[in-house]
Amino acid sequence: MRSKASPVIFISFLFLIFLLNCPKRIGIKTIKVEAVYIASIFEDIYRNEPILAGLGDFNGIKIGYLNFESAFMPILMERLGFYRLLNELPIDFVISESPIYGMKYFTVAKAMGYGIKNYQGIRFAIVSKDRDSLTISDETKLALIRERSDVLWVIDRKFFSLAPAKIDFLIKGRELSDTSMTPIKLTMNSDLSSKIKEIRDLVSNSLNKTVQVGNIKLSEYVLARLKSNEGASVVLYPPSVFRTITPKDSYAIYEILSCIACEKKFGKAEMGKSEVEQLVKEKAYLIWGNIAKNNIVVYPDDGGRYLYDLIFE
């Protein structure tokens, strides 16, 4: 004899399949995704009331970017513990030109990088678009991100110049229907404020240290120290190591980082005269020192040490 309950079970089973195959129509718990745009995170730590110190009670999306004029600054910031501080803060996305590994937040590459976060059932994605026109590969990537997300926020160059703001994304049927932007109103956390001030003072003290060069050019000072510290007879270097330098008797570290490629790596090796001459010819290097029959040579080497460390350690 057929059970009377079987049709009910069958209908319930069909309804369950319907639920599983229609995630965009059922079970939406929110119609608004709130986001805080911090703008420059590095500049934020110098504000009297850093936005970073008020993110603890904010439950929405938190995003900011890192903009450093010097390519060595990200390396120096890592050494000073700046990224560890960010890891203690409730940030979701950090847009950066340099990758940051082992952190809780998503690092989004400035050049067409992206990140996706599930926010109360809404798949929220951001894309950093740092160029005016997109390649076919970029368009393909963008299309794939759209497929994987419900809300896609494309942050372009113009957006980077905007002041910090709170942004509301209004969602209807898992599709973005409208956005609104308002000033940020957050409550500062005293413990976070103290941590931010501590790292700010550490960064400021490190960048404002001065180096006395006397009556010689900064480039000559750097090359002389490099040669002396490494016990070398010859230093080979590309012209791009030194940028426009204003003659002065002393320079702060932040000034040196802006006019010298401290991120360049150098190695050391023994070389004969012909080896040095061949390397200079092939790479168009400049020479500091006199080439002899046998030489201890400091030269650009991706497997070597940073110029900054070779000068100042």
pLDDT at 90: 86
pLDDT (tens digit per residue) in 120-154 = 788 999 999 888 888 999 899 999 999 999 889 99
pLDDT at 30: 53
**Read out DSSP for 225-269?**
HHHHHTT-SEEEE-GGGB------SEEEHHHHHHHB-TT-EEEEE
Q: Which residue has the tokens 């608004």?
A: 32
Q: Tell me which fold the domain 28-206 belongs to.
A: Purple Acid Phosphatase; chain A, domain 2 (3.60.21)
Show the DSSP H helices in 45-189 as ranges.
73-80, 82-87, 136-148, 157-160
pLDDT (tens digit per residue) in 261-291 = 999 999 999 999 999 999 999 999 999 999 9
pLDDT at 130: 84
Phi, psi values for residue 206, rounded to 5° = -70, -40
Better pLDDT: 33 or 240: 240
Mean pLDDT value of segment 193-201: 91
Percent residues over pLDDT 90 in the chain: 58
Percent residues over pLDDT 70 in the chain: 90
pLDDT at 126: 93
- What's this model's pTM, rounded to 2 decimal places? 0.79
Half-sphere exposure of 207 (CA within 13 A, CB side): 19
Domain chopping of the chain, boundaries = 28-206, 210-312
Show the DSSP H helices in the chain as ranges.
6-21, 41-44, 73-80, 82-87, 136-148, 157-160, 190-207, 218-229, 253-259, 273-283, 307-312
Collapsed DSSP state (helix, strand, coil) of residue 133? coil
Tokens of 106: 């998503």
Q: Tell me which fold the domain 210-312 belongs to.
A: 5'-nucleotidase;  domain 2 (3.90.780)
pLDDT above 90: residue 5: no
Pick the closest to residue 300 from 271, 266, 272 (CA basis). 266
Pick the closest to residue 235 from 268, 207, 208, 261 (CA basis). 268
pLDDT at 166: 93
Angle at 21 between CA 20 and CA 23, to 5 degrees: 75
pLDDT at 8: 44
Beta bridge partners of 222: none
pLDDT above 60: residue 17: no
pLDDT (tens digit per residue) in 210-227 = 999 988 999 999 999 999
DSSP state of 58: -
Say if 28-206 and 210-312 have the same CATH topology.
no
The confidence band for 116, taking pLDDT boundaries of 50, 70 and 90, is: very high
